[in-house]
Amino acid sequence: MKNFLKLTFDSEQTALAIRVDQQAELPDALERIGLGGSRSVLVVVGGASNISEADFLRIKRLFTEVLAPIAESLGAYVVDGGTDAGVMQLMGEARTQIGGKFALIGVTPQSKVALPNQQEPAADLTPLEPNHTHFVLVPGDNWGDGSTWISYVATVLANNAPSITVLLNGGEITFEDAFSSVNSGRLVVVIAGTGRTADILADALRGQATDERAKKLAKSGTLQYIDLIDIEKGVKNLGEIIKGLLSN
């Protein structure tokens, strides 16, 4: 099957990848790369741009002390955008750091990424994150095209098990990610204090919105926020909330 790929990164880590053209192919495609059944799913969206070193280290702790350990303890699937940048890089590195065995699935437009075994990829392509275990390569010419696919993949993988989206920092595409989750009926937990889109959404949830998209998302009833101002409390709260939501 030409759509099935085994990827080997420079680090010798390997991942399974599958190309899909239509949403209807997803259940079979995911089964094909060993991702069947039904289990809780954690979707991670956002960015890690324009943040201070101190904030970056706080966000990093969330991944190594909360998100990766919870995914590991629950045997959850984790779904993100799969490239070697921002929250996707943090998620991959956290999985390896804790010695995690959970499946980490990157969903990304194929035309935007360089596969590790490609001969001389085009200079404008973005590398995949090497600590991911699986990739779903989807159609689209823009990064935002991956947003609805991330949400579809999470829904198919959960197969009626609980799933939530955690949103940190982020730019324009993060709004699209949030709408895709909300339209799927998936709760979005916004990490306030991580900057940019996350903070705009948190302000909207506090009734201080200036951005129309943020107002609309806040009214959906499927957003909540956790403040990261106090990191010790924030890490503990986030851990308890996420574990509770995914264990239902």
| Residue span of the structural domain in which 20 resides | 1-25+52-117+124-161
Q: Is residue 170 part of a domain?
A: no
The pLDDT of residue 234: 66
* pLDDT exceeds 70 at position 88: yes
Strands (E), 118-162: 126-127, 134-138
Per-residue pLDDT, averaged over 209-218, amounts to 91
Q: Is the same domain home to 203 and 144?
A: no
- What pLDDT does 1 receive? 47
Instruction: Write out pLDDT tens, residues 171-181.
Output: 999 999 999 99
Is position 32 within any domain? no
* 86 shares a domain with 4: yes
* Number of structural domains the chain divides into: 2
Same domain, 60 and 104: yes
Residues 2 and 93 in one domain: yes
**What is the C-alpha to C-alpha distance for residues 232 and 25, in angstroms, rounded to an integer?**
43
| 103 assigned to some structural domain | yes
State the Cα torsion 168-171-175-178 to the nearest 10°: -20
Identify the domain boundary among 132, 161, 190. Answer: 161
Q: Are residues 7 and 73 in the same domain?
A: yes
pLDDT at residue number 237: 78
Same domain, 15 and 71: yes
- Tell me whether strands 41-46 and 163-168 are parallel, antiparallel or unpaired: parallel
- Tens of pLDDT, residue by residue over 96-142, are 999 999 999 999 999 999 999 777 767 789 999 999 999 999 999 89
Same domain, residue pair 143 and 226 = no
